[in-house]
Amino acid sequence: MSRSRSDLIAETLEDEILRGRFAPGTRLDETRLAEEHGVSRTPLREAFQKLAAAGLIEQQPRRGVFVREVGAVELLEMFEVMAETEASCGRLAALRISESALADLDAANARCREALEAGQSDAYYRENEVFHHLIYAQSGNRFLAAEAARLHRRLKPFRRTQLHLRGRMAQSMSEHLEIVEALRAGEADRCAALLRAHVAVQGEKFHHLMAGLRAAE
């Protein structure tokens, strides 16, 4: 998958914000960051738009761009909605998915496994995005698919961060295989339950995510 310069800058800044280089409330210096990344202001501003869509920064007219703080309650609420939205996509996709889409999911999983074996969490996440967006599309409901994609973008930095936790990539891979198995069998309720559990960050999983974010500060 080809990625633009602004995508790469946004990904780097995501990591730096989550790992504490830029604390909440910090003003991001557009000129200095453009020089640091060796780009003009255009791709940097495009990167800022991606970060704003993910809720990591806020752009204040005539004041600049500032890192915003995402609280634990807000994050948990977003993941709860994401889990239910993906469950709905999975339930519908199990009834409507095509054979070619199942083959595409198998291929995405094969690439996920390659990234897992290479220990490349960012590469795994990119293929993971392909996997999930295929399921959204196969729901056959364009409005639902668009809402799922929008919320997926909003949570991207945190979903990527999860994969840095020890053992999470392997667990995710195992869950992917079960989801495809349910889709292939047309088991709508099982697929919904699997996707809900795959995305939800309640209980211990949420504790580990928040601990990982704090450790990066």
Which two three-digit tokens encode residue 22?
Answer: 């830029």
135's CB contacts (< 8 A; 6+ apart) are 86, 89, 90, 93, 105, 179, 183, 195
Compute the distance between CA of residue 183 and CA of residue 191 in angstroms, rounded to an integer: 6
Interior CA angle at 175 toward 152 and 178, to 5°?
120
Cα(117)–Cα(35) distance, integer angstroms = 35
Residue 211: its pLDDT value, please? Answer: 63
d(CA 119, CA 214): 23
CA 140 to CA 143: how far, in whole Å? 9
Q: What is the pLDDT of residue 203?
A: 47
pLDDT digits (tens, 9 = 90+) for 10-46: 988 987 887 678 888 899 999 999 999 999 989 999 9
Q: How confident is the model at residue 139 (pLDDT cuts 50, 70, 90)?
A: very high
Distance CA 118, CA 82 (A): 28
Q: Is the pLDDT of residue 201 over 80?
A: no
- Tell me the three state secondary structure of residue 88: helix
Beta carbons within 10 angstroms of residue 170's beta carbon: 12
pTM: 0.74
Mean of the per-residue pLDDT values for the chain?
A: 88
Q: What is the pLDDT of residue 214?
A: 55
Judge residue 104's burial from the number of C-beta atoms within 10 Å of its C-beta, 0-12 exposed, 13-18 middle, 19 or more buried.
middle
Query: Which of 3-7, 121-125, 148-152, 187-191 shows the lowest per-residue confidence on average (mean pLDDT)?
Result: 3-7
Confidence of residue 122 (pLDDT cuts 50, 70, 90): confident
More confident residue, 203 or 209: 209
pLDDT of residue 2: 55
Predicted pLDDT at 165: 76
d(CA 217, CA 211): 10
Q: What is the pLDDT of residue 42?
A: 92
Question: Band of the pLDDT at 205, cuts 50, 70, 90?
Answer: low
The amino acid at 109: N
Give helix 72-96 / helix 121-138 axis angle, nearest 10°: 50
* Rg (alpha carbons) of the chain, rounded to whole number: 18
**What domains sit in the chain, N to C, each tagged with a CATH number?**
5-67 (1.10.10.10), 72-215 (1.20.120.530)
Name the E strands within the chain.
27-28, 57-60, 64-67
Per-residue pLDDT reduced to its tens digit, 53-82: 888 899 888 899 999 877 778 888 888 999
pLDDT at res. 192:
98
For residue 202, pLDDT over 70 is answered with no
Residue 22 CA to residue 56 CA, distance in Å, equals 11
